[in-house]
Structure 1
Amino acid sequence: MSRKMTALVIGNSSYPGHGLKNATNDSEDISKKLSEFGFSVIHLSNAKKRDIDDAVKSFRDNLNSNDIGLFYFAGHGMQIEGENYITAVDTEFETEMDAKYSSYPLNKVIDLMERSNNKTNIVILDACRNNPYERAWHRAPSQRGLAPVFAPKGTIIAFATSPGEVAGDGAGRNGCYTEALLKHISLPDIPIEEMFKRVRNSLSVSTKNRQTSWEHTSLSGDFFFYISLVNAVGKYTKEAISDGLFHIKTDLELHRVILDLKSHHWYTQNPAVRNLKSEDISSSDKNSVFVLGRNLYQAACGSANGASDFISEFRDRTQGVDDKLRRAVLEGMLFEIFFNSKGELRENFKTSKFNEVFEYQQYSEFDESFKFISDILANYPNRFHIIPGKDRSVSVDVETNENDEGELKVIGVHLGGINILREDEDYGFYVDDGEVPYEAFRKAALERRISEDMLIPNSKLTINFDFYADKKSKILFPYGHTVAK
């Protein structure tokens, strides 16, 4: 199941004379979380009114090409003459009139979301903070915070506190409301209305009943921030998706093969795979066969030659096997590249046999298997340049310069005109004198490295060098760098 989702997230803290401690932290943490869910996020910190206006225009354009739209604001909000406004860091607060015309009207955001072509809209406002600027305006207590807002069809609007009340900025990294929101937003398979009820309960406890969050909703369908992989996949059981839970039945031949593959010892793994027969697969169920595929791939990545040979000979080794079971083996291999034994997306993908498995993308008989993996990975678009499994060819341009020894050093790898070469933050190497060391590659090895980093198979990737490169060319690549997303 693939969802196209866009978000505009704003956090303003640096108000003149009366800054907020946590609003920018709130927006940073919400942006990160939404990105993990697959939202394409526009994020602003300490935005001026012009910045907000420009970002809202970009957000408006994004809404029409997405299914889900979300607007989040943390900072000072206020109601003037019954209308709600979110404030910029350059809002003028001397009078109500100054503030009104130098702030951004919330209704403008809600209206453009309502008029867009998407199906579901979410507005989250941690903007009911105690606003010291309002004290000079001699306002009644009922005018504090934000006014109630009508939610158009297909929209839910969530407030950090009830109408006319104010919210706490929090004692830790986050405001009280966003802290509670972050606790619950990642819980799997919870409808958004239920999620906000849990936020309200946690918020009530943490503020000793001083703050009660509030929502207005006109949603006509269910929305889940985090859909568990079991529900996203649907095709295989929880025990197959989280194969650390898979129960091995030693009276079954295929299960004994899986157990041997899990041994991590070549002298056990290799004979088990070499003795594996198509009849063993045909006589099993799709969940067991899916787990077999996962363990074949992990054994091959551990340099078990028998498993590597099986992957290379997969089409021949599975001739005569029912098509559904055959695809289940391949889908297990594909799944293992991207997901760990808990069924969680890997921090570092398992790519050493990536090209060998994706070689089967060229055969139409396996189209369904590559659609299976691309549909799952479409829920994590921010982790990939191109969703793996999509039948799409990509071209990149490698930029080099020549060092004093006449050797060619890679200084850029350009995709769509953008240099995607970057330091790998997870690599953790230290450069003593500021000079990045380089490692040497032959052309084919560098092409494979780029393919695996980008998770685009060699067969779908064209690499253009800015010099004539033959198979003997030695090319220097910066140590501790990557072209991964």
Structure 2
Amino acid sequence: MNVGQLYITRQLVGVTYCIISMALLAIGARATLDIHTSDAPRVVFAEESAGATQLALIIGNGHYPDAAEPLHQPINDASGLADAMSRHGFDVDMVEDATKADMANAIERLKSRIKPGSVVMLFFGGYGVQSGRESYMIPIDAMIWKESDVRHEGISIEAVLDVMKERGARAKLVVLDASRRNPYERRFRSYSHGLAPINAPINALILSSNTPGKVGDDSTNEHSVLVTELLNELDREVSAEGVFNKTRTAVSRVSNGEQIPSVSSSLVEDLGFSPSDSSITSSLPPAASRTSASLP
């Protein structure tokens, strides 16, 4: 082999080595990309799980100017339930004696904090009124003289459930202690007592203090009968649906059948309150710290 042939051979070897090296680098880069791509769904899922929260909006209204005397239990009920839900890992926003603006602002705060996968709870204690087969929470500054005022002055419970659904809440829990004789009923010619059945969206659980269309009087105890029994059941490690159903049974028993709460469920998964791990489900992380807003 002469010098020219040796030179050409070395050049070919060099070019071949470069081509092989580039091919190996490309294969390595493709493998790295494939690894990152396959990991991407797991990373997104982990981020979504980490962002899942447990939120509770708790409203207790007691001082209505149109009422003969204040309602003392809703404020105590809101405070007691707020403490209990905080122990269960919920981030609680508690509002007392809320005007319509206060309630609207609280709902907006809740809306802004709901993330896909959240478990969200609403509690309302005070006066509730039904109109047009829909139930409304009544603010303390409501000016109600006829039935149409209810729809204008009140806050629709179904509308709050719609907010939870639109924001992607995984599960919706509602507790209503508002089936009281309200100070507006004598102003209506056509009037239906109590609350209407709630149209629950999918994966919702609703507990109301009385059978639809029925009202009850408050006792002289610190807490209402409903919240007293609900707090008792929350101390037991049972499912959320079990808590609501056992509360219903307990209220019916202690009232000798005079007050029978209603429970409506469209749950498609098993949710459980567990004091031992302060979590509503084992798959959800601990919630953020509680916030509280007390209003004059």
Sort the TM-score into its range (normalised by shorter chain). 0.7 to 0.9
CA drift at 1:23: 0.7
What is the distance in 1 between the residues matched to 2:72 and 2:278?
Answer: 39
CA drift at 1:66: 5.5
User: What SS does the aligned partner of 1:27 have?
Assistant: helix
User: What SS does the aligned partner of 1:158 have?
Assistant: strand
Deviations 1:44-73 (A, max 9, x none): 100000011111011011112662111110
CA drift at 1:171: 1.9
Residue equivalent to 1:202 = 250
CA contact (8 A) 2:127 2:182 kept: yes
Distance of aligned partners of 1:111 and 1:230 in 2 relative to their CA distance in 1, 3 Å threshold = closer
CA contact (8 A) 1:85 1:100 kept: yes
CA contact (8 A) 2:248 2:263 kept: no
Match of 1:128 among 160, 179, 184: 179
Residue equivalent to 2:112 = 61
Residue equivalent to 1:155 = 204
Computed over aligned residues only, the root mean square deviation of the Cα atoms, in angstroms, reads: 2.6
CA drift at 1:95: 1.9
Distance of aligned partners of 1:55 and 1:381 in 2 relative to their CA distance in 1, 3 Å threshold = closer
What is the distance in 2 between the residues matched to 1:157 and 1:112?
Answer: 16
CA contact (8 A) 2:207 2:263 kept: yes
Q: Does 1:113 align with 2:113?
A: no
Aligned amino acid, residue 62 of structure 2: S
CA drift at 1:99: 3.0
- Runs of 4 or more off by more than 6 Å in structure 1? none
CA contact (8 A) 1:168 1:175 kept: no
User: What SS does the aligned partner of 1:8 have?
Assistant: strand
Q: Which structure 2 residues correspond to residues 293-442 of structure 1 after superposition, within 5 A?
A: 379=286, 381-382=288-289
Residue equivalent to 1:212 = 260
Distance of aligned partners of 1:152 and 1:207 in 2 relative to their CA distance in 1, 3 Å threshold = same
Residue equivalent to 1:93 = 144
CA drift at 1:5: 0.2
What is the distance in 1 between the residues matched to 2:128 and 2:279?
Answer: 38
User: What SS does the aligned partner of 2:75 have?
Assistant: helix
Q: Does 1:185 align with 2:234?
A: yes
Match of 2:272 among 224, 232, 235: 224
CA drift at 1:205: 2.0
Distance of aligned partners of 1:231 and 1:74 in 2 relative to their CA distance in 1, 3 Å threshold = closer
CA drift at 1:139: 3.5
CA drift at 1:203: 0.5
Aligned amino acid, residue 223 of structure 2: N
Residue equivalent to 1:240 = none
CA drift at 1:381: 4.7
CA contact (8 A) 1:168 1:176 kept: no
CA contact (8 A) 1:155 1:218 kept: yes
What is the distance in 1 between the residues matched to 2:279 and 2:106?
Answer: 34
Aligned amino acid, residue 121 of structure 1: K
What is the distance in 1 between the residues matched to 2:239 and 2:103?
Answer: 30
Aligned amino acid, residue 211 of structure 1: Q
What is the distance in 1 between the residues matched to 2:124 and 2:151?
Answer: 17
User: What SS does the aligned partner of 1:382 have?
Assistant: coil
User: What SS does the aligned partner of 2:184 have?
Assistant: helix
What is the distance in 2 between the residues matched to 1:138 and 1:112?
Answer: 32
What is the distance in 1 between the residues matched to 2:273 and 2:114?
Answer: 17
Match of 1:76 among 127, 150, 157: 127
User: What SS does the aligned partner of 1:132 have?
Assistant: coil
User: What SS does the aligned partner of 2:94 have?
Assistant: strand
TM-score (norm 1): 0.46
CA contact (8 A) 1:5 1:66 kept: no
Residue equivalent to 2:102 = 51
Deviations 1:285-315 (A, max 9, x none): xxxxxxxxxxxxxxxxxxxxxxxxxxxxxxx
CA drift at 1:209: 0.8
Deviations 1:145-193 (A, max 9, x none): 11111211111111111110113323211111111111111212x1111
CA contact (8 A) 1:72 1:124 kept: yes
CA contact (8 A) 2:56 2:121 kept: yes
Distance of aligned partners of 1:26 and 1:79 in 2 relative to their CA distance in 1, 3 Å threshold = same
What is the distance in 2 between the residues matched to 1:200 and 1:160?
Answer: 8
Q: Does 1:15 align with 2:64?
A: yes
Unmatched 5+ stretches in structure 1: 235-374, 384-485
Aligned amino acid, residue 243 of structure 2: M
CA drift at 1:39: 0.6
Residue equivalent to 1:146 = 195
Number of aligned pairs?
Answer: 239
What is the distance in 2 between the residues matched to 1:382 and 1:170?
Answer: 33
Aligned amino acid, residue 166 of structure 2: R
What is the distance in 1 between the residues matched to 2:232 and 2:278?
Answer: 21
Distance of aligned partners of 1:154 and 1:170 in 2 relative to their CA distance in 1, 3 Å threshold = same
Deviations 1:186-239 (A, max 9, x none): 212x1111111211121012212100011111111111122534999x9xxxxx
CA contact (8 A) 1:15 1:90 kept: yes
Q: Does 1:37 align with 2:92?
A: no
Unmatched 5+ stretches in structure 2: 1-48, 291-296
Deviations 1:102-139 (A, max 9, x none): 11121210111111222111111111112132122133
What is the distance in 1 between the residues matched to 2:168 and 2:150?
Answer: 32
CA contact (8 A) 1:6 1:66 kept: no
What is the distance in 1 between the residues matched to 2:206 and 2:57?
Answer: 14
Aligned amino acid, residue 382 of structure 1: S
Aligned amino acid, residue 157 of structure 1: I
Q: Share of identical aligned residues, percent?
A: 27
Distance of aligned partners of 1:80 and 1:15 in 2 relative to their CA distance in 1, 3 Å threshold = same
